[in-house]
Amino acid sequence: MAKTLSEAIGYTLGKKAAQAKNVFDLVGGTEEESLRAEIRLGRDLAAALLERVPLIEENEATRFAAQIGRWLAGHVKEKKLPFVVRVTAEREPNALALPGGPVFVSWPLLELCQWQRDEIAFVLGHEMAHIVRQHTLNRIVKDAALSLLLSQSSGKNAASAWLSKAGRQLLGRAFSREDELEADVFAVALVGTAGGDASAGERLLEKLAQGFGQSVCIAGEYLATHPPLIERVANLRARRQG
């Protein structure tokens, strides 16, 4: 089947991205330069996302969530990433991480945590893991549609165009089972290192597995697309028991 020129260009870029071992390969330059590129991409995507997803107006609860984010960020040892936690007004439990630091968590997911600091910390730590381990970045960079848009317009316009089409769906999907379970383990360790209750994550997942919150609309994609809650609990328990 004949391809249009832009499809062909997109295919080439997508292929190049798919062949890159990681984003450093693709962006080139020093580690510091690629970190800057990662942060810029995340900021462009966050700005584009904010045009589409409303935030909860700042209040004591949103400040509490942001403060938990800063507390955890102070204990992430891998590299200096500008983590920022924002609370969205989505109706379903949801959380999302963008490259370089932005984390979005929905109000209903915070409610499922019953505003327990360390349960919220586990949820945020899980998203931070996707950033630190570059799960989000690698997925985005390998997306041919975004590569094409970035080659045609500024980062911000490309991010916006992408999010209005394929991007939103891509960002909403869970990562591989391995990445998700790894993010849970990272989160538990981070909460523990920060001086919080490391068992809070297991407790939260167990509570959700037992059906807590079904009355408050749990049937969201966020939980449905992650590995089964039972498996996540078993994974954390196995790690804990060594």
Shortest Å, Cβ 126 to Zn ion? 6
Q: Rank residues 88 and 147 by Cβ distance to Zn ion and give the closer one.
A: 88
Shortest Å, Cβ 32 to Zn ion? 27
Contacts 24+ apart (CB under 8 A), 17-23: 17/141, 17/142, 17/143, 17/144, 17/147, 18/142, 20/141, 20/142, 22/134, 22/138, 23/134, 23/137, 23/138, 23/141
Three-class DSSP labels, 190-222: HHHHCCCCCCHHHHHHHHHHCCCCHHHCCCCHH
Lateral strand order in the sheet of 102-106:
84-88, 102-106, 95-97
Q: Rank residues 90 and 180 by Cβ distance to Zn ion and give the closer one.
A: 180
Using CA atoms, how far apart are residues 217 and 62, in angstroms rounded to an integer? 21
- Which of the ranges 9-17, 140-148, 175-183, 213-221 carries the binding residues for Zn ion, by CB under 5 A? 175-183
For the window 177-196, what string marks contact with Zn ion as x by the rule CB under 5 A?
Answer: ---x--x-------------
Shortest Å, Cβ 175 to Zn ion? 6
Q: Rank residues 59 and 169 by Cβ distance to Zn ion and give the closer one.
A: 169
Shortest Å, Cβ 19 to Zn ion? 26
Facing residues of 105 across strands?
A: 87, 95
- Which of the ranges 64-72, 141-149, 174-182, 215-223 carries the binding residues for Zn ion, by CB under 5 A? 174-182
State the number of binding residues for Zn ion (CB under 5 A).
Answer: 2
For the window 12-51, what string marks contact with Zn ion as x by the rule CB under 5 A?
Answer: ----------------------------------------
Give, as ranges, the residues between 146 and 165 that touch Zn ion (CB under 5 A): none
- How far, in Å, are 99, 123, 162, 238 from residue 140 at the CA level? 9, 21, 10, 31
Q: Are 45 and 163 in contact (CB under 8 A)?
A: yes
Q: Rank residues 140 and 183 by Cβ distance to Zn ion and give the closer one.
A: 183
Shortest Å, Cβ 135 to Zn ion? 8
Shortest Å, Cβ 97 to Zn ion? 8
Using CA atoms, how far apart are residues 224 and 92, in angstroms rounded to an integer? 12
List interacting residues with Zn ion (CB under 5 A).
180, 183
